[in-house]
Amino acid sequence: MHESFRPLTGASNPHLQTLLPRLVRRRVRLKPHWQRLELPDGDFVDLAWSEDPAQAAGKPRVVLFHGLEGNFYSPYAHGLLNAWREKGWLGVVMHFRGCSGVPNRKQRIYHSGETEDARFFLRWLRATHGEVPTAAVGVSLGGNMLACYLAQQGADSLLQAAVIVSAPLMLEPCSLRMDQGFSRVYQHYLLGQLKQNATRKLLHYPDTLPLKLPQLLALRRIRDFDDVITSRVHGFSDATDYYRRCSALPLLPAIQTPLLIIHAKDDPFMTDEVIPDIAGLPRNIEYQLTEFGGHVGFVGGSLNKPHMWLEYRIPSWLSPYLEPVP
């Protein structure tokens, strides 16, 4: 019923699709339960639950890994958590380091291939809240990270299923795309968010980034940020090395967890190089390429009654794994 996507009437344009969720999902429909999870290296990540997990024992769980500089208040995040709550599932956003509005303590931040925090969190989740059916959803950067994690873990992912949406599975060409045409508007916005976050961290912890504030403010592209911060902090020689080693597309054949990957053909953050060779995918991966949808947009229906397609498509696909028929 919810498998195919039809864009909102008169709004098939990819930029409209990309921007519309901020208009139709402006109101946060649930109050999250916040929790701070301390990490083994002395840092932390913040969790936003759809409800108190102590009161939700036995409910199926869905973990959300957000996109670049995303958080619970990103329209897709609180929209999906509310959709999962309405299904009777427990949802949680694992904020990457520094993305909950509070600077993280250590030099490490997060990136498209940084899987250690996700691995620790999923193990902690099972050990703390028991073994119940659990799925993960990764959006944009979080989707590439999730694909890397699934490939690394093989049969030991601790997940019954996963969904990846609008993920830049080839980082180099996606970086080049962000420097072209109207996509530069998105790059300007995201770079501003990155710089704002890094500025906050430098003010709190002056020696935790490999540059000073004037150098940070002079950066003009996301690739520049990745060259002088992301790569240096995480042991890559430069942005090119980071992009090569952390692109998830070549890793897809190693994934054993049931997985749905969703891309829009008109995504202004992507190029066709993110589209996998369908014939080369393992049988546990389903790939859906829609004609329209933009970047994490997928807004259907009408202006009077917009339809957030991902909030139906994702729960529908996950249901057999989270609520198996006896």
Q: What residues are annotated to the active site?
A: 140, 267, 295
Burial of 27 (0-12, 13-18, 19+ CB in 10 A): exposed
Strand-pair partners of 306 = 301
Query: Phi first, then psi: what are they for 313, rounded to 5°?
Result: -60, -45
Token digits for 136? 């993960």
Alpha carbons within 13 angstroms on the beta-carbon side of residue 299 total: 29
- In angstroms, the CA 127 to CA 59 distance is 15
- In angstroms, the CA 183 to CA 222 distance is 12
Find out whether 8 and 20 touch, Cβ atoms under 8 Å. yes
Tell the residue number behind the tokens 């049969």, with chain if given.
155
Cβ neighbours around 57 below 10 Å, total: 10
Residues 6+ apart with CB under 8 A from 212: 202
**Which residues in 59-98 are b (16+ Cβ under 10 Å) and which e?**
bbbbbbbbbbbbbbebbbbbbbbbbbbebebbbbbbbbbb
Token digits for 160? 């019954």
- In angstroms, the CA 188 to CA 222 distance is 8
Which residue from 258, 221, 261 is spatially nearest to 239, judged by alpha carbons?
A: 221
